[in-house]
Amino acid sequence: METGANIKSKGAAPKGAVSRLADAVVQIAGALSTALILVAFALTIFAVFMRYVVNAPLMWSDDASGWMLVTLIMLGCAEAYRRDIHIGIDLLTARLGNKAKGAQETFADLAVLTCAILLGISAWEAVTFSYAFDAYTSGTVEVPLWQVQLPLPIGAALLGLVAISRILTRLSKGSSK
């Protein structure tokens, strides 16, 4: 499978401004995702310590861990896609020729873009609805629900940005032949 790094390294066409911007923004989001993984891990260790050693369980840690999980996944999925380190099954695509493989990869990027658009629209509607009705989370900690939902459209936008970047890079590579 041709990764984002491979598209760049083959050197047929230099990366455009959109691709460089996408890379920079998505790398920052990926770094934030990594930091959130460490924070969630530390929070889990602290919650276990408080529950089993101090015998004073934290009432808010499960809620916060859940919110961090959604955020770190939505920020990290675009970086995984950009670096092409996501899970993929290539039983059929590994046997394709260069032209067919390029068409398949473009189709896959268009499918990701479509999913990102649909997710983004749906998530944005949920955020605006929660904001308009002043909805709060249920559970031990009550925060405005739109704040918890906001990583969903942000992650969808990042995913769409990477898909557009990959499509544009592939098209400019094809037009430079």
Give the DSSP letter string of 21-64. HHHHHHHHHHHHHHHHHHHHHHHHHHHHHHHHTSS---SSHHHH
Q: Hey, what amino acid is at 154?
A: I
Q: HSE on the CB side for 77, CA within 13 Å?
A: 20
Say what the pLDDT of residue 152 is.
97
Residue ranges of the domains in the chain?
15-175
Query: Model's pTM, two decimal places?
Result: 0.83
Query: Cβ–Cβ contacts within 10 Å for residue 22, how many?
Result: 25
Residue 91 burial (CB < 10 Å; 0-12/13-18/19+)? exposed
Helix (H) or strand (E) run with residue 145 in it? helix 145-149
Q: pLDDT digit of tens for each residue in the chain (177 aa)?
A: 445 544 444 444 457 787 888 999 999 999 999 999 999 999 999 999 999 999 999 999 999 999 999 999 999 999 999 998 877 777 777 778 888 888 888 999 999 999 999 999 999 999 999 999 999 998 888 999 999 999 999 999 999 999 999 999 888 876 554
Say what the pLDDT of residue 95 is.
78
Cα–Cα nearest to 160, from 107, 130, 119: 119
Say what the pLDDT of residue 82 is.
93
